Each structure stands twice: as C-alpha cells, then as structure tokens.
Structure 1
Amino acid sequence: MQKRCRIIYNPTSGREMMKNNLVDILNILEGAGYETSAYATTPEKDSAKNEAARAAKAGFNLIVAAGGDGTINEVVNGLAPLKHRPRLGIIPAGTTNDYARALKIPRESPIDAAKVIAKGQTVKMDIGQANDKYFVNIAAGGLLTELTYGVPSEIKSLFGYLAYLVKGAELLPRIKPVKMRLEYDDGVFDGMASMFFLALTNSVGGFEQIVPDASFDDGKFTLIIVKTSNLLEILQLIQMVFNGGKHVNDPRILYVKTSKVVAKAPKDRMMINIDGEYGGDAPMIFKNHKQHLEIFANTDEIPDDAITSKDEAAEENAREQFVEGVDKLRNLSEEQLELSDKDK
C-alpha cells in the first residue's frame, strides 16, 4: 500500500518560506515514496492541531509540521493524545526554531530539511505534558515567560533571536524572585527563585549549553531552577553557560533529572511558558511521556549520548548480523553435507 504524507504548513512563517518552496518539498517527499498533500493553516484556533489529528485518524503514515515552534507544538498536540501516532517530520520556517536546532535539521533551507525526512533517520522522542497540553522542548516559569510575551510577533519575524536578547536586556534590571514550590522525583524545592526551566532537549532559547547532558529519549526532564535574582549573578551564570555549561554545578542553580514535576506559586501569579507560548498559570503538573513520538532527525550529527535508543539500535543490528551469520554457516554446512553425500 502507498505511504501517505500530509504537510501541515503555516503560510506566513519565516517570510512565507514554505509557500515559495512547497512544490520542491512535495517532489522530495514523493521521491521518498510518499503520496504527499499539503494543508495551509488558518487563523482559526487550533487549525494545525485539528488537521494533525484528522490526518492521523485518516491513516496517514507521516505528518510534516512546517513552520515555527508554535506550529510544531500545535501538530504535536494533535498527535500526542492518540493511540495511533504516525511519524512526524519537521520543516522549520520560524525564528528561533529550537526544536529543529536540537534535532540538527537545517533551519535556513526548507528543501534541505525535507531531504532529512527523505533520508529516513528517526528518533523516538520524549514528549512533555503540562496539565492537558503537550510540549516538545521546554516549559518554564518566571523571567522567560515575561521575555517571550514581551516581543511582538512582527519584531520576532524581522530580527529573530536578536529580538529576545534586546528584550531580555531590558527586563533583567526588573527581575524579581517568585515564591515557588517545585516537587520532583527525588525532592522538593520550596523557596524564592527568579525562574525555572523544564527542558526536553539541549536547545533552549537558542542556547545549546543550558542542558549540556540532554538526552532526548530517556524519559526524564532536565529541571533547572535559578535561585538568584541578582542581575550581576545572573550575568555570571549566563557566562558560565557559554563557558562549557559550568553553571550546572553552581550553588545558585538547582540542576536535576526528573520524570515528573508539580509546580506551585503559593503567593504570586506564575505564568507558564510552553514551547514559547503562554500555557496557563501555576499550579501545573508536568509529566514526561518516554519515547512517545517517532520524529525524523539528522541522527548522524546528534551526539550518541543524547539518544539512548542508538545503543538499542546498535544491539539489535548486532543481533541481526549474528543471526544472519549463523544462517549462512548453517546453509554452508548443509551444502557441504550434500557434497559429501554425493562423493559417497
């Protein structure tokens, strides 16, 4: 039976990159053996989410999310609750494209990103759940939420990550700590902190060293709590991020692995950012769904320790080669026996 692919694309993302390259992308995926069709999202709420769920239920083998991190998040929210979840491809066409960066998918060329899908390499990725919403990269509370909401969408499109840095510099002098209670697998943080991150990959806001030991498929979040709200100390921690990820051992940081987090803010409102968008207020429960979605990625360029299933794949390949070798020996022995019988 012919494999079917549905591209769900945001026609306004990345200065209309997808619209300009759609024909070439369709040809690449058709050449990879998929009967391919496309759906342009609309301003209607949950447009990408609803189409992803519809296409999955209709039996499509591959769903391709083409757009920014918001489009990818919507498509994932359409697929993640389903029992049957088709494979997911990603063609980035937004601003920061954190998730594509983590999966080593080309971010400047939609055509090159489509070629990664055609290459056929996949990773069974962990997916996060925040109450009834799903996310693929990050959930956060504190400064990051204010920073993200403070950048107008038209500025994001024009200046990309630079817009976040400029807005961040403006906000830093006004950072105030929030009373947080964060319950995780091996303990509880109950105190004042300026922000927390809950990361699924190593790419957070354009920085790849915030989670230097990230694993994409081990069933664990990386929980980072920034305890200090002092401007100079935060700048020092940022410098340590760039200096080989040395922030992870700093006493002003809590850095742990956990499969579940319960976030509460007893005294203040704490908005929660999910994959770059407002996702509701604390209290919120976060769960990690281990290896929940199979996603196309450029695995040749992803570090081995980021994908635990690479070891499993290698073991399976070794088993297959062993069985194949035994079969060859058995066949060879049978041929020798037949020749020996003939000689008699």
Structure 2
Amino acid sequence: MDAADCDGKAASDPLLRPAISAVRDLGHQVEVRVTFESGDAARYAGEAASEGVEVVVAAGGDGTINEVAGGLLATGISGNTAMGVIPYGTANDFATGTGVLKGDPLKALRLAATGAATPIDVGKVNEHIFVNVASGGFGAEVTANTPPQLKKAIGGAAYSLMGIVTAAKMSPYQCRFTAPDGTTEDGTVLIMAVGNGRQSGGGYQVTPHALLNDGLLDVVVIHDAEITQLGTVLGELLDLQAKSNQFVSYRQVASLELESTTPLQLNLDGEPYRGTRFHFTVMPGALPFILGPDAPLKTN
C-alpha cells in the first residue's frame, strides 16, 4: 500500500488525480492525505509507518520531503517504510538531482509504486534533519527572506530577485570549525553548503562530489571575497580539491562543529533555521528511498 502526502499545490494539479487512478488500476492501493498546515505531513507519515504502509510518497517540494522524512524517522521504525516523491515545489532540488522530474506525476508515482528502495543517509544539525543540503550564509538568507507570495507568483526567479536585494546587505560571518579530532580552524563564511545530496538553490551543484549513501557530508565554504575576485572564486568552485584554492574550502566529514560569533541563517532543505552553534552529523543508511535513475550513489 502506498500513501501520498500532498501539499496544496499538488492537490490542485489536474494531472495528479488521473495519475493516482492509473496506479490504482495497476493493482496498488493508494491513500491520499492533503496537508493544510505545518506538521501535517510529518504526522501523516508517522501514522502510515506505524500502520505498516510500504511506501509514503511526498507530493511537494524539498520542504515536504524533509517533513515526511522527519515523520518517518521519528517513529523509530522508518526502515520498514520507504519514501518516494512527486515534485511540486519551487526548486525541487532533491527530486531533480535524482532524476525524478517535475511535470509528470504519473511517471513519478509509478516509480514510487514499483521501484526498489535504496537506504540513503540523512544529515542532522543539532536536533533537525536534512535529506538534501544544509546551506548557510548568503544563500540561506535569500531563501529565508523570499516571501511565499513572491515564490508563488514568479517561481524560481523569486530567489534571483531576492538574491540581488540580499547581496547588497551581506557581510561575512566570523566562524570556528571544529573537526572530529578536536582541531579547530577560524575563518569567515560568506556562503556554505553541507551536502548529503548535490543540488540546491534551484539547480546549482553546490556539493558536486556528494553521494547519498557514503556515510559522509560534503562541506563547501566560500570565504570572504571581493567582487573583483569573483572569477577566481568561480574557478575554485570548479576544482574544489585544488590545494591552491584561496577563497573556497572543501572537506568530507562524518561530523563537524560550527560556531558563529553572530546568528547564522541556515536553510535545511528549504526550511529556515538560525543559531550560533551547530553540530553536523550524518545518519548512515537511515532512510529507504525510491530514487530516480540519476541519483548520486556510491557503488560497491
């Protein structure tokens, strides 16, 4: 049996109802739950897992995936219930990054009903989870400051518009990084990404070497740089592992401590989270997920 958690945008799509009917005609039992407020998706997912539902499908964006995953993990029995996705969000970074594309709910739902689940890692920062990417600094400020009405009106272009506004006000954060062995490194953070997945911000490969099942988080940090150094920064982003990089640092870790002298805005799969002290960890293989054909996975 499949259960689909649908946000308001998904529920109003005229293509979704016939897609559900078509999958039912294939012999699958599909139950639909429509969310009206924050917390509904997590509650429905938890109830489905407790009832032994085989697959819970998140019909929404990255935030809906995050909430459904959190609901499944909170039950403590998430390994028995797999997740699938029908993308309906503004960015849909996780779904797109695995090859599940927006605009064909029948194809996505059929995959969720018939595909095999792969255990993937889940990132965690303090008590909050992220399935895809935790971003911080400039990009997170843009997401947090973009009004929902603007996203609804102009879609992904809203992030570009708010980016122009936010860039004029941004200054780097003063931070300290502490590695698992206790070594510390002080530095500035203009933009950072902690990736379980690779794609964020509406299609940007912010952590291009990340794998969903390697037990590691990929951390990319852009430190303070002047506008005249933008070309150098872009070049370093294309070669993250170069030892000569001055403005961009890259590491793979199982855990990381981050302290900021001022409150730092994070974005966890599109959900805002603000603080000054963050403990990043990874939960290896914690979530069975039915992925698309392009999912970045470690192969044996």
Alpha-carbon displacement from aligned partner over 1:190-248 (angstroms, at most 9, x marks no partner): 1222132111111121344322222110010101111124233346534665xxx3355
Q: CA RMSD in A?
A: 2.1
Q: Following superposition of structure 1 onto structure 2, how do residues 134-173 of structure 1 map, counting pairs within 5 Å? A: 134-173=129-168
More divergent stretch after superposition (93-102 vs 268-277): 268-277
Matched, 1:101 2:91: no
TM-score, normalised to structure 1, is 0.79
8 Å Cα contact 1:121-1:296 kept in structure 2: yes
Distance 2:229 2:112 in 1: 42
More divergent stretch after superposition (53-62 vs 181-190): 181-190
Q: What is the match of residue 275 of structure 1?
A: 269
- Structure 2: where are the runs of 5+ without partners? none
Distance 2:63 2:218 in 1: 21
Structure 2 counterpart of 1:200, one-letter code: N
Q: Following superposition of structure 1 onto structure 2, how do residues 1-344 of structure 1 map, counting pairs within 5 Å? A: 4-13=1-10, 16-17=12-13, 20-31=14-25, 33-43=27-37, 45-85=38-78, 86-185=81-180, 187-234=183-230, 236-238=232-234, 241=237, 245-249=238-242, 250-265=245-260, 267-299=261-293, 301-302=294-295, 306-308=296-298, 310-311=299-300
8 Å Cα contact 2:91-2:201 kept in structure 1: yes
Greater fraction of residues in strand: 2
8 Å Cα contact 1:66-1:92 kept in structure 2: yes
Structure 2 counterpart of 1:227, one-letter code: H
Q: What is the match of residue 321 of structure 1?
A: none
8 Å Cα contact 2:91-2:203 kept in structure 1: no
Structure with the larger RCO, 1 or 2 (CA within 8 Å, 6+ apart)? 2
8 Å Cα contact 1:193-1:229 kept in structure 2: no
When the two structures are aligned, how many residues end up with a matched partner? 295
8 Å Cα contact 1:173-1:231 kept in structure 2: no
8 Å Cα contact 1:202-1:214 kept in structure 2: yes
8 Å Cα contact 2:70-2:129 kept in structure 1: yes
Distance 1:37 1:144 in 2: 36
Identity fraction in percent: 24
Distance 1:248 1:171 in 2: 29
- C-alpha change, 1:130 and 1:158, in structure 2 (3 Å) is same
Question: Deviation at 1:109?
Answer: 2.0
8 Å Cα contact 2:142-2:163 kept in structure 1: yes
Distance 1:112 1:222 in 2: 31
- Structure 1: where are the runs of 5+ without partners? 312-344
Alpha-carbon displacement from aligned partner over 1:82-115 (angstroms, at most 9, x marks no partner): 3311000100101110010111102122222113
8 Å Cα contact 1:176-1:229 kept in structure 2: no
8 Å Cα contact 2:236-2:248 kept in structure 1: no
More divergent stretch after superposition (185-194 vs 53-62): 185-194
Structure 2 counterpart of 1:110, one-letter code: P
When Rg is computed on C-alpha atoms for both structures, the one with the higher figure is: 1
TM-score, normalised to structure 2, is 0.90
SS at match of 2:263: coil
Q: What is the match of residue 334 of structure 1?
A: none
8 Å Cα contact 2:263-2:274 kept in structure 1: no
Greater fraction of residues in helix: 1
Distance 2:177 2:24 in 1: 47
